[in-house]
Structure 1
Amino acid sequence: MQLAFRAISETTPGPIWAGLFHEHWPAYHDWWARNGLEARPPYFESRRALRAHMPELGDLYDRLCELAGGGDSAARFLSFFCPPPYLAGCSQAIWPGEEPMLVRNYDYSPTAFDAVVLRTEWLGRAVMGTSDGLWGMVDGVNDAGLAVSLTFGGRRVVGDGFGVPLILRYVLQVCETAEEAVAALRRIPCHMSYNVTVLDAQRRFSTVYLSPDREPVVTHAAVATNHQARVEWSSHARFTATVERERYLLARLTLHPESQEKFIGAFLKPPLYSTAFNQGFGTLYTAVYRPRARTMELRWPRVRWPLTLSGFSEGARHIAMPSAA
């Protein structure tokens, strides 16, 4: 199996983003409407919710809706308000050394993945990260030196709120420090349970447990896998080995002083690296974020792709994924 990853840059929303949207829209529409369009909130409710909770994105959202063609379904989808439920795996950890560094594995289905690193300067702020939903992000860094990343929180509860990739986009667009990011994460409703780790250039960090049915919990955890304070979905926990992965990372942080390279290399091997692609839980990439340098690096076994916010280079990589387990 091969995946084609692309790095794309567009300063303000325009024809490049519009082309990306129309390329992916048929698949996203099928997903968004899989339970019938009546199951999703109407456009005016979605737009009102976005402007109430993330007002800085309001005009940008309207512009993206125009570029998408102005259709009702597309506009409702782009609001990310009360989307269908979706699950991901993922592991992430903050390196214990002096330089701020966040490393994460993104474990998800290869058939439901943008495979795009998107760099923008929307609202006057440079941001780059891994795209989801065409303007949301599952991880990224901004020009203030703030990095964010998410993992699924291991709970089946679904409620009223936004899809977490748009919340991460919002954090990267409007926040500069970990403290500001935490304040935003505590305020914005999330429709499912996720763990969001934030790290800034001064090496201040937090992991916030988001849930649709209870208040966010702010922790100083340097590791996040696929549960929160405790396992609440035991079958998912067994399938994803979330506890085992968490223990493995905690052991590396506390018992094995090591170089950056060895720490990163651990994410490219079991138990962190997964080949369960057929079950929607294969490791699609490893990302390394260095907020002080404003850089990200995508890694796969035997492949590295460094990217910098200030000297971003568009391009593509065709990655041969390991045999699925």
Structure 2
Amino acid sequence: MITIQSDIKQFRGTHYELGYRQGEELKNSPILKTRHKYWKLKRPRFHIDIPEAKSAIMHFAPKIWDEFEGIADGSKQPLENVLRDFGGYRMEPERSGCSVFVQDEFLVRNYDFQPATYDGRYMVYQPTDSGHAVIGPSSRVTGRMDGMNEHGLAIGYNFTHRKKTKDGFVCYMISRMILELCENVDQAVQLLKEIPHRNAFSYILLDQTGTHYIIEASPRDVTVRQASECTNHFVTQEKENRHHIKESQARLEKINKLKPSMLTPEKAFETFDAKDKGIFSDNYKSWSGTIHTSLYQPRELKAWISLGGNQQPEIFDFQKWLTGIDFQDSTLTGKLETDIPTANMER
């Protein structure tokens, strides 16, 4: 068992300023060292074409390009390296688990993955140049694993497969773009239909009206369905599924069985975070162990999170933060049943 930590990063300013601050922090951080070590062990299965990446990003979210340039300047790294490590375009995300349950008033999810990829950065950012304020854990620094914006739009995503990839954006950058650019579920669905997808993922959306959808997005099609639970296989695009989805189906059945007992945020969070309910997973070496449990309440603008299992959540009042009052805590801590350190821990 190891103790892990997530640093709470709070920032108000332009995207370039945010990027520069992050670049300075990354310069001597284990995160950058971990990414560089990773590429020494595993050659990238993609090529970074800076003009192509810039054109794609500028078309949808030009201010995020400013953030990349800020990271490059702050970290003293070539822009090509920044795009390779943190760009979210033409990247190859690893396989993972994840479970989501959504009701009219909340969205809860388990983020299941391999700890070595976990940033350990909980980002709260209010842009002063363009875009909506967002709260949620980061992925590859610039992306978001899940989150909620100032309008109460919340999102989580679930992996389906990496086969038959095409040029496009990956899940954590798509999540970031949706939160910064969209005010409600309808706008998010429209963006998901327009944006090019690198891999196949489900995106689960909820807004302040209680409207919620599951969007199955692959490089070939984007379909919308209405349900309250989602794991790691498609329901409408069945041909996109992997051959072996029994574990994903079993988790979905477990959520359905437990649904009547998860009608409040407290009970839903407790159920997802409990190690004895069948949703939480300790399978870290197989890229599907639960690292954090998060819950979002769009109407109250509150964000819950805990690291590891059987934990009490930290609850952030995002509405209060938006008035200019910073959170007092600087870190989150938790324990995982593994010896694999997270990306922000010294090896």
Q: Same fold (TM over 0.5)?
A: yes
Gapped runs of 5+ residues in structure 1?
none
CA distance in 2, matches of 1:208, 1:38: 27
The number of aligned residues is 316
1:27 aligned counterpart, secondary structure? helix
Alignment pair present for 1:308 and 2:317: yes
CA distance in 2, matches of 1:175, 1:130: 18
Moved more, 5-14 or 311-320: 311-320
Shift of 1:37: 5.9
Alignment pair present for 1:9 and 2:14: no
| RMSD (Å), alpha carbons | 2.3
1:302 aligned counterpart, secondary structure? coil
Q: 1:234 to 1:20 in 2, by over 3 A?
A: farther
Q: 1:61 to 1:273 in 2, by over 3 A?
A: same
Alignment pair present for 1:160 and 2:167: yes
Match of 1:203 among 206, 210, 215: 210
TM-score by structure 1 length? 0.88
Residue deviations 1:36-66 (CA, integer Å, cap 9, x gap): 4683222222112211343453434433433
CA distance in 2, matches of 1:257, 1:319: 23
Equivalent residue, structure 2, for 1:281: 288
Q: Give yes or no for contact 2:213–2:227 (8 Å, CA) kept in 1.
A: yes
Moved more, 71-80 or 199-208: 71-80
Gapped runs of 5+ residues in structure 2?
340-347
2:233 aligned counterpart, secondary structure? coil
Equivalent residue, structure 2, for 1:219: 225
Q: Give yes or no for contact 1:153–1:209 (8 Å, CA) kept in 2.
A: no
Moved more, 159-168 or 17-26: 17-26
Q: Give yes or no for contact 1:43–1:75 (8 Å, CA) kept in 2.
A: no
Residue deviations 1:193-240 (CA, integer Å, cap 9, x gap): 11111110111111111112x1111111221100012482133x24xx
Match of 2:258 among 252, 262, 268: 252
2:116 aligned counterpart, secondary structure? coil
1:74 aligned counterpart, secondary structure? helix
Alignment pair present for 1:271 and 2:278: yes
Alignment pair present for 1:88 and 2:103: no
Aligned-residue identity in percent? 21
Moved more, 142-151 or 48-57: 48-57
CA distance in 1, matches of 2:124, 2:102: 23
1:316 partner amino acid: T
Q: Give yes or no for contact 2:125–2:134 (8 Å, CA) kept in 1.
A: yes
Q: 1:249 to 1:316 in 2, by over 3 A?
A: same
Residue deviations 1:69-127 (CA, integer Å, cap 9, x gap): 350432322332111242221000103xx5x1000000001111002110111225311
TM-score by structure 2 length? 0.83
Match of 1:66 among 70, 73, 76: 73
Q: 1:106 to 1:37 in 2, by over 3 A?
A: closer
Residue deviations 1:131-165 (CA, integer Å, cap 9, x gap): 00101001011111111111102453322111211
Q: Give yes or no for contact 2:19–2:70 (8 Å, CA) kept in 1.
A: no
Equivalent residue, structure 1, for 2:142: 135
Q: Give yes or no for contact 1:10–1:121 (8 Å, CA) kept in 2.
A: yes
1:11 aligned counterpart, secondary structure? strand
Shift of 1:289: 0.5
1:244 partner amino acid: A
